[in-house]
Structure 1
Amino acid sequence: MIPVTTIGGYLGAGKTTLINHLLRNPDGQKLAILVNEFGALSIDEDLIEAQDDDLISIAGGCICCSFGDNLVGALMDLMQRQPRPDHIVIEASGVAIPGAIAASLSLIQGLKPNGVVVLADSETVRDLSNDTYLGDTILRQLKDADLVIATKTDLVAESWSHDLGNWLATVSPRAALVHAIHGHVSSDIILGPRFPEMPPEQSRHSDSLFKSKVFPISRPLDLKALVTGLTSPELGITRAKGFVLTPTGETVLVQVIGRRAETSTSPNRSQHAVVCIGPAHTINTQELDRLFNSVSLCPTRGSVYLKMEACKFS
């Protein structure tokens, strides 16, 4: 399954800047960027290796394609490419509803929706939401978001940014919120973290604005309690992904973005861990430690499992 992230936001919100930053920092992934037309997306020239009518080859193995009025056809073509992209990013037009695009992806076999990311211009988004002609579109874009990126935060006062955050929490109740200047957002935040193949406490990126922590899993977990905890805003995480054990011995893939979580059974594997990532100023690693400790189960006699704090060891 190829994950597909949909990026939306009104004209001028900073989608092109964000995508250029993503192409410069793909974190080893071969990305395929789908845009409505090349004229709407200005790829930095130093990133371009080759270009023809409907495809741009980007340094590092990434590509950018235009889909015109045939998004499904473009997606099918990408799935036939060799090598296949590791991740597809769809840049919706400024007046499109990205949630509707993401919903249609579940109908295409071989693709997995990976979240809706909506950019909001910190200076103008509230005024635009009150516009007679544009307001409904702006609010629908934000309502569908799993992650809202407030852009151009360097151009507004701290009090304005704080008030904007409160307003966004009401119009995008299920979304996590991060702030960005010049599109500088970690690829882990936009695309989601990949399963870590590294020492547990090592962060996957050096961006001081964001922080990640890996939790190795050696015991079965209370899956429902884990998902409830990871989607709680008090933990301050934006995304989480990993493989966990259940009391029945199954391996389950857990993916979280904002307030939405998905779980699916997965083939058994030798390593189990969950990586959590969020803005450095909001992620609460102490509460995350408490969460993973509280949902860990230990075996008693037979096949009965108890919460760790209820276990008695001789």
Structure 2
Amino acid sequence: MSDLTKIPVTVITGFLGSGKTTLVRHLLQNPGGRRLAVLVNEFGTVGVDGEILKGCADENCPEENIMELANGCICCTVADDFIPTIEKLLAQPVRPEHILIETSGLALPKPLLKAFDWPAIRSRITVDGVIALADAEAVAAGRFAPDVDAVNAQREADDSIDHETPLSEVFEDQIACADIVLLTKADLAGEAGLAAARDVIAAEAPRPLPTIPVTEGAIDPALILGLSAAAEDDLANRPSHHDGHDDHEHDDFDTVVIDLPEIADPADLAARIQRLAREQQILRVKGWIAVTGKPMRLLVQAVGERVRHQFDAPWGARPRSSRLVVIAEHDHVDVAAIRSVLLDPVEA
């Protein structure tokens, strides 16, 4: 690669738990001949996703090419975090040939695209494409897409009504900014669910978008890498709810980090997390847990009441510590209640 050639960057966006990390892991294992680098933006301070990806490092993407931003939304920390991290990647002895950016599930992609116009990097990298992931089962159920007719009726009746929720705005902005939409967990949605999800995406998208069903992140890299979209030069065709605003806030969401003792029964923990989703409207739970008598750490990933857990790696020299990151809408965060459900053997 010539030093004068812009390095392509793929922005991978999508709602909490839509499968972004699973997709990035698949791309790391199937790079299509590319030398990759990955930038992971976590919401909160515990780098679960970045740690998962570092376990996939190899000669095509060495561990030093996997970097994390855990100090807030990537588009709100451009000068302090994003630009220096990109410059560090570009200064590697062997430069990456393609960079993947996994955004936080709460990030709006358009402000990030604007960052590519910063003088320090605009001549060196370009947005090859924006890939939006959407949980097909959830979208088909209408959980992240409003009823457009009902919203319009409410607007006509009362201009002051709050017709958008924070989650729907995030979802719509991610779809509006995308070059391709991946409908993840296609196996759970089924054919009818996929058809319903496609209809929702088509209704929300500002232009026709390729929409591809995916299970466990398995997709041919040729379909999503090498798009040459130059998305940073195409902002006008990627509308956002926040157009005209200088910045945006993430005060609608809170992160709570809970340290736990070792557990004996992963199924009991999963039941507690499901209870949190029902009673506290928790959006996302992720982290690692030490299980008594087990030499491997238990990776826990939950989206609403859907909880997945698996032993992913030996503890090795790492301290056997259990920690969960819990993400919820601001108005629904009750730290004492979260702690009670996760820690209290009587209440749980």
* SS of residue in 2 equivalent to 1:185: coil
2:43 is equivalent to residue 43 of structure 1: no
- Do the aligned partners of 2:7 and 2:97 also contact (CA within 8 Å) in 1? yes
- Which of the numbers 148, 155, 167 marks the counterpart of 1:134? 167
**Alpha-carbon displacement from aligned partner over 1:205-247 (angstroms, at most 9, x marks no partner):** xxxxxxxxxxxxxxxxxxxxxxxxxxxxxxxxxx5xxxxxxxx
Question: Are 2:106 and 1:106 equivalent residues in the alignment?
Answer: no
Contact (CA 8 Å) 1:30, 1:85: kept in 2 or not? Answer: yes
Counterparts in 2 of 1:178 and 1:27: CA distance versus 1, 3 Å: same
Partner letter of residue 179 of structure 1?
P
Q: Is the 8 A contact 1:106 1:112 kept in 2?
A: no
The match for 1:55 is none
Q: SS of the residue aligned with 1:81?
A: coil
Q: 1:42 to 1:158 in 2, by over 3 A?
A: farther
Please name the residue that 1:26 is paired with: 31
Quote the sequence identity (%). 32
| Residue 47 of structure 1: how far off its partner (Å) | 2.5
Q: What residue in structure 2 maps to residue 161 of structure 1?
A: 194
Q: What pairs with 1:1-314 in structure 2 (closer than 5 Å)?
A: 1-37=6-42, 38-43=47-52, 47-48=56-57, 58-62=58-62, 63-68=65-70, 69=77, 70-107=81-118, 108=121, 109-125=123-139, 126-130=142-146, 132-172=165-205, 173-192=207-226, 239=227, 255=228
Task: Determine the C-alpha separation between the residues in 1 that align with 2:91 and 2:200.
Answer: 43
CA contact under 8 A between 1:36 and 1:66: conserved in structure 2? Answer: yes
SS in 2 for 1:115: strand
> What's the CA shift for 1:34?
0.1
Alpha-carbon distance, 1:157 to partner: 2.6
Structure 2 residue aligned with 1:264:
none
- Please report how far the alpha carbon of residue 18 of structure 1 lies from its aligned counterpart in structure 2 after TM superposition: 0.3
In 2, are the aligned partners of 1:99 and 1:145 still within 8 Å (CA)? Answer: no
Aligned length: 190
Name the SS of the counterpart of 1:128 in structure 2.
coil
Counterpart-to-counterpart distance in 2, 1:41 and 1:149:
21
For normalisation by structure 1, the TM-score amounts to 0.55
- For residues 78 and 7 of structure 1, what CA distance do their matches in structure 2 show? 18
CA distance in 2, matches of 1:45, 1:33: 10
1:10–1:95 contact (8 Å) kept in structure 2: yes
Cα distance in 2 for partners of 1:102, 1:114 equals 11
Q: Is the 8 A contact 1:145 1:174 kept in 2?
A: no
Determine helix, strand or coil for the equivalent of 1:35: strand
Note the aligned Cα RMSD (angstroms): 2.4
Instruction: Tell whether the 8 Å contact from 1:78 to 1:84 is kept in structure 2 after alignment.
Output: yes
What is the deviation of 1:17?
0.5
Residue identity opposite 2:125 in structure 1:
L
Partner of 2:198, secondary structure, is helix
Q: Distance in 2 between matches of 1:16 and 1:176?
A: 21
Greater Cα shift, 83-92 or 64-73: 64-73
Residue 141 of structure 1: CA displacement? Answer: 1.1
Instruction: Quote the offset at 1:28 in angstroms.
Output: 1.7
8 Å CA contact 1:106–1:113 kept in 2: the answer is no
Deviation at 1:14, TM superposition (A): 0.3
Q: Which has a greater percent of helix? A: 2
Query: Is the CA contact 2:134–2:181 (under 8 Å) kept in the aligned structure 1?
Result: yes
Separation of aligned partners in 1, 2:96 and 2:23: 19
Is the partner of 2:187 in helix, strand or coil? helix
Q: CA deviation at 1:128?
A: 2.0
Contact (CA 8 Å) 1:102, 1:116: kept in 2 or not?
no
